[in-house]
């Protein structure tokens, strides 16, 4: 009996596992066609200089809307894109679209607006990454110092190559930000050696400001650490007046979050900007 029972048990889990596999496979197939079918677009979330409330720039956030499965969150499809290798093609599209948008924004009220783009680790180490970036900067005619690449701490897993790659970006005048700082396997050694520009404090800490003293201590320590090392800090996920006041008091440089704006369609961003009084 127990054997049969065990077997049934196994079968049940196997069915669930198969079902999950099928769903992943289906999403992957739909994602494969997303580029050709123009189902991908970028949303832009403003980043504010907290010292004078001027607009520093935006972060480009990838969106996928499929007629069958609806609006899929990036937390769901980016991992699938990474596992399937599709992230290379998608990542190129993101960089091209963001740079084209930046070029289109030449006449914006804000001069020198920065465009932050998320880059997956796998994409960062792909042989084509730098050449494609150079080509895109050339063809769109953007000023590379207006482009910020957001990479995560996991990039440091390839300690040998990462510095070479970062040095090339520095030579190209492209800026680099460490995203979700404090949530990965951080090593302070790489902060010493890496030529980067910003540290981006993860929203899990920012959102506990006013609620958890330890998170507040972590936020102020990251700001101090960054300042001492010569990096600008940017806090993500700021939603309340209290978050803003704390970040301002701690002299965080830049803030991004629903408090100022959600990620916006390109046209809506222009409207938002014209209502921004600075
Ligand atoms: P991320 O780079 O850390 O982006 C910040 C996320 O926080 C975004 O989620 C943004 O919408 C959200 N956010 C911003 N302010 C607030 C706030 O005040 N409250 C809350 N609750 N959330 C806020 P989103 O757009 O869902 O993106 C999730 C993640 O997907 C990104 O995290 C990034 O890791 C990844 N991602 C997005 N676009 C791309 C892309 O083009 N390429 C790659 N490789 N990854 C991307
Ligand atoms: Mg980011
Ligand atoms: Mg982030
Ligand atoms: Mg984050």
ipTM of this predicted complex? 0.98
At 125, give phi and psi (nearest 5°): -95, 0
Spatial separation of the C-alpha atoms in residues 44 and 185, rounded to whole Å: 28
Please tell me if the CB atom of residue 182 comes closer than 6 angstroms to any atom of ligand 1: no
Please tell me if the CB atom of residue 239 comes closer than 6 angstroms to any atom of ligand 1: yes
pLDDT for the residue 42: 98
Q: How far is the CA of 236 from the centre of ligand 4 (A)?
A: 7
**128-149 mean pLDDT:** 98
**184-206 mean pLDDT:** 90
DSSP characters over 178-221: EEEETSS---HHHHHH----EEEE-HHHHTTTTT-HHHHHHHHH
pLDDT for the residue 2: 44
Please tell me if the CB atom of residue 179 comes closer than 6 angstroms to any atom of ligand 1: yes
Closest residue by CA, ligand 1 atom 41: 62
Residues counted in the chain: 278
Please tell me if the CB atom of residue 97 comes closer than 6 angstroms to any atom of ligand 1: no
**251-273 mean pLDDT:** 97
pTM score, two decimals? 0.93
Please tell me if the CB atom of residue 120 comes closer than 6 angstroms to any atom of ligand 1: yes
Query: What number does the ligand 1 atom closest to the CA of 202 have?
Result: 3
Closest residue by CA, ligand 1 atom 5: 236
**56-77 mean pLDDT:** 96
Closest residue by CA, ligand 1 atom 25: 61
Q: Which residue has the tokens 């510095």?
A: 163
Q: Which ligand is nearest to the CA of 43?
A: 1
Bridge partners of residue 42, in order along the sequence? 62
Please tell me if the CB atom of residue 72 comes closer than 6 angstroms to any atom of ligand 1: no
Query: What number does the ligand 1 atom closest to the CA of 82 have?
Result: 44
**141-154 mean pLDDT:** 96
**65-86 mean pLDDT:** 96
Q: Which residue has the tokens 């991004």?
A: 256
Q: How far is the CA of 28 from the centre of ligand 3 (A)?
A: 24
pLDDT for the residue 6: 52
CA dihedral 62, 65, 70, 73 (to 10 degrees): -10
Nearest to 221 by CA among 199, 243, 240, 238: 199
**129-140 helix and 87-104 helix, angle to the nearest 10 degrees:** 20
Spatial separation of the C-alpha atoms in residues 238 and 257, rounded to whole Å: 4
Encode pLDDT of 214-223 as tens digits: 999 999 999 9
DSSP characters over 51-78: TTTEEEEEEEEEEEEETTTEEE-HHHHH
């Amino acid at each position: 009996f127990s054997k049969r029972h065990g077997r049934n048990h196994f079968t049940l889990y196997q069915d669930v596992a198969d079902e999950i596999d099928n769903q992943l496979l289906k999403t992957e197939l739909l994602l494969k066609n997303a580029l050709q079918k123009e189902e991908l677009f970028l949303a832009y979330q403003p980043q504010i200089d907290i010292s004078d409330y001027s607009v520093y720039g935006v972060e480009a956030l990838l969106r996928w809307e499929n007629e069958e499965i609806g609006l899929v969150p990036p937390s769901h499809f980016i991992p699938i894109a990474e596992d399937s290798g599709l992230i290379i093609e998608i990542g190129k599209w993101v960089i091209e679209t963001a740079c084209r948008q930046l070029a289109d924004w030449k006449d914006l009220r804000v001069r020198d607006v920065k465009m932050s783009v998320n880059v997956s680790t796998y994409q960062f180490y792909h042989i084509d990454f730098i050449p494609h970036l150079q080509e895109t900067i050339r063809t769109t005619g953007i000023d590379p110092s207006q482009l910020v690449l957001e990479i995560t701490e996991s990039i440091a897993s390839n300690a040998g190559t990462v510095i070479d790659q970062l040095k090339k970006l520095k030579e190209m005048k492209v800026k680099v930000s460490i995203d979700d700082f404090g949530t990965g396997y951080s090593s302070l050694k790489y902060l010493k050696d890496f030529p980067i520009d910003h540290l981006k404090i993860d929203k899990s800490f920012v959102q506990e400001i006013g609620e958890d003293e330890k998170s507040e201590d972590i936020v102020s320590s990251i700001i101090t650490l960054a300042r001492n090392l010569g990096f600008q800090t940017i806090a993500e996920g700021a939603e309340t007046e209290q978050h803003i006041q704390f970040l301002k008091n701690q002299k965080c440089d830049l803030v991004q979050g629903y408090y100022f704006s959600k990620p916006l369609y390109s046209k809506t961003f222009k409207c938002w900007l014209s209502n921004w009084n600075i």
